[in-house]
Structure 1
């Protein structure tokens, strides 16, 4: 019988899986941008965009319900799992029904791309297997099968990358790559269900009462997830609706956040919330402010230099990773990078720890409204890249909205919540080395890969020197911070490149 894993080992295993997910997604995207014509790649991304926006509505947070209902269940554990899988399978069937009644034609007309409609039919079997598969993380985590979860996630991700790349090599078309996603979903969906059924023993069958109970639990989570997904994806939807498929392909390739955000700030929630909750219950509000600021300040030291790297080397990054056809993708990438300093804090963490989550949902709604209102205008005025500006403004609006309820709960002012002195010092320290590196770039005539390596190394060395001289941090302190955050990273979710 195997020994139980420590929390540290579990977290390291999950963090490694999350890192592999980010790397594999980047690898698949880089390969597809090189193999597929721009219009075909744009169609591929449009089809997956539709699924990404619709799936939260149909899953309604039900997979996460297993985190609550499965641990400690002794009466009908397998029945609880089957309740969950039944609801998710029904969601997949509803997706197929939506395509059958004309959703595909409606979207194709909206995107002005007739190729989208028939390809959405390929996602019907994809949804039927993909939706139940989304319960595997919650199920295996709830019954402490971390090793199996990590092995499954690693194997399924690698298989997805290989399947899509092979399809693109054989036939460089959106039809081939979307079909590859559907095939992958079936191939890994069956083992996922087998893993879950073997992990959860006992007899049981799905019941209407059990399914309804999990739906009631999951719907609030699903609504919050839906708002988050719409906020993240709406700019891409607008660009796809108002611009050509080729323009959309270029935009969507650059309109992404640096994967490092998940490792740095996504993990902060797991580290900070338990301590914030303890401080709140013992009425130590000043300690909440102090801890939140310390976490934000540390993350800022990592993310601010990353922002300047993207601003300095956006063209080279896009060309080296995605080919010269996507050099213009550096514009939305740079705009997205302007959000990195703001991402140094998880603003909802304080409200979650103090049982004020309604403000998190409200702020997400504010962000969505701002994004919807601005995106149409900005794209109409400035083209596809205007959508990135709208998203950036919406993200800052959400953060600003959250500061006020946070200040009220902690009995302070919004201005006092942020260590503005440290913010200014971090921006200045990271910005100082950028000036000579920018001058170096104007002088250096070399291939993009050489420029990327030389200028990146020069900037990194400059940041280290400035951080040391100003007393902000040493390289060892920054590495220790990343290592601790990696140990607390949440489990990776499956997805499609």
Structure 2
């Protein structure tokens, strides 16, 4: 049987690494909104939207395929890694050339001629990011989780430090983006160092076909998923100027805690699912991952909605107060991240199903966003995105339920989720009161700290006072850190 709480224990180093990276990475937008005029910050967000969209789409599932093949420890690890690495370097180069060649088209689409002047660093950033994509993934899949965690932390620390220095020296966005290129080159060099230390590169035609058969359906799904996830930003970016896009982009700001927890737990869940002899434990592993994520994402969502009028000005100044309603709608999607559906389906080999699900989600998202944008402006765009995302996540949950041979009452630990949800809502009361009193005050950060402290205290107190086995402290530990009994 799988150890209760094992997912959290194995993912712990990754979460610590991502936590350290989040601390330094979280500071970057705070610094940029204070160093850059609003229009320049909007230009930065447009460039980053182009780069990250290409980065996630052009991996074609090859980097992620290492989570599926490397944990097998079948003696063919070198071939799996060589094939993925060579393909990603090639794909990155093709993508970089295409981006540079289409620089004027991209600038015209965003109605921002300045974008074309950043074409070369934008292309190089994309190539180096794609080429270095297997770095942390391969280490995690091999069980070298601590090494991967250190690289995650140090990589983001170097990225933030190196990118801010040119701004402080007066080199502007050009210096900023070239610092990103330097950071990407360092990551790619490290990827090459680890690659050649593993031994002689190998390519096997039979294994390559097997790897592509797994990766390409998932990669095709990502080709649909990333446009779906970012379409609302593209639609708004094509409709407004750079300064207004900065308002929307900050409203869609992702607090790092989501990736901090979701990515490592989902990654470890995939590795555990792929290991031999765990088939009958998959439901328990899925419940365990779901509860660990929900224990943070549920209260996080409720608290952010309650304290949004303090959160946005505390981080980005009152200039970005119009972002608050957008942020409130965007954050409501976060509880869905407590369902590690993509990782579970990939680990079970259902990449073709993911392609169909992502296609359906894209076809649903495009009209929902465009209609919302037309009728209700930027808030309507993010609302259309949120509704489409929610509908398809429920369909994917049903597929996981079928694969695990569970009834609806068994697919999730409903009882424990209800406890977390009730505690999250009850804790909103002090946060709403403080937000209402201090929303127009000159020190929103202090008010946010007070609201957050009271929110956490009430949340933990409600969990501790809920009926259940053990002492109040034991109940809190059980909800936050692990399951001690079969989920209900």
TM-score by length of 2: 0.82
**1:163 maps to 2:162:** yes
Q: State the match for 1:35 in structure 2.
A: 35
Q: State the match for 1:491 in structure 2.
A: none
Q: CA deviation at 1:186?
A: 2.1
Q: State the match for 1:115 in structure 2.
A: 114
- Give SS of 2:361's match: helix
Q: State the match for 1:459 in structure 2.
A: 455
Give the one of 234, 237, 244 matched to 2:234: 237
Task: Give CA-to-partner distance per residue, 1:30-75, whole Å, 9 cap, x none.
Answer: 2112111111111111112112222334321223445526975768
The more displaced of 12-21 and 256-265 is 256-265
Distance 1:154 1:343 in 2: 22
CA contact under 8 A between 1:251 and 1:384: conserved in structure 2?
Answer: yes
The 1:479–1:170 alpha-carbon spacing in structure 2 relative to 1, beyond 3 Å, is farther
Q: CA deviation at 1:426?
A: 4.2
The 1:230–1:269 alpha-carbon spacing in structure 2 relative to 1, beyond 3 Å, is same
- Point out where structure 2 has 5 or more consecutive residues left out of the alignment: 1-5, 484-488
Distance 2:339 2:251 in 1: 23
Give the one of 290, 293, 311 matched to 1:317: 311
Aligned positions of 1:212-231 closer than 5 A: 215-231=212-228
Q: State the match for 2:429 in structure 1.
A: 435
RMSD: 3.8
Q: State the match for 1:306 in structure 2.
A: 300
Distance 1:141 1:243 in 2: 41
CA contact under 8 A between 1:58 and 1:94: conserved in structure 2?
Answer: no
Distance 2:251 2:262 in 1: 21
Q: CA deviation at 1:304?
A: 2.4
Task: Give CA-to-partner distance per residue, 1:459-495, whole Å, 9 cap, x none.
Answer: 222223332333379566545655569xxxxxxxxxx
Task: Give CA-to-partner distance per residue, 1:291-343, whole Å, 9 cap, x none.
Answer: 75575456434322212211121122222222222233332221122123333
Q: CA deviation at 1:360?
A: 3.5
Q: State the match for 1:490 in structure 2.
A: none
Aligned positions of 1:92-103 closer than 5 A: 92-101=92-101, 103=102
Distance 2:76 2:357 in 1: 40
Distance 2:400 2:84 in 1: 35
Q: State the match for 1:373 in structure 2.
A: 367
- Point out where structure 1 has 5 or more consecutive residues left out of the alignment: 1-5, 486-497
- Give SS of 2:185's match: helix
CA contact under 8 A between 1:277 and 1:354: conserved in structure 2?
Answer: no
Which structure is higher in RCO with an 8 Å CA cutoff and minimum separation 6? 1
Q: State the match for 2:467 in structure 1.
A: 471
Q: State the match for 1:363 in structure 2.
A: 357
The more displaced of 329-338 and 425-434 is 425-434
Q: State the match for 1:24 in structure 2.
A: 24
- Give SS of 1:471's match: coil
Q: State the match for 2:182 in structure 1.
A: 183
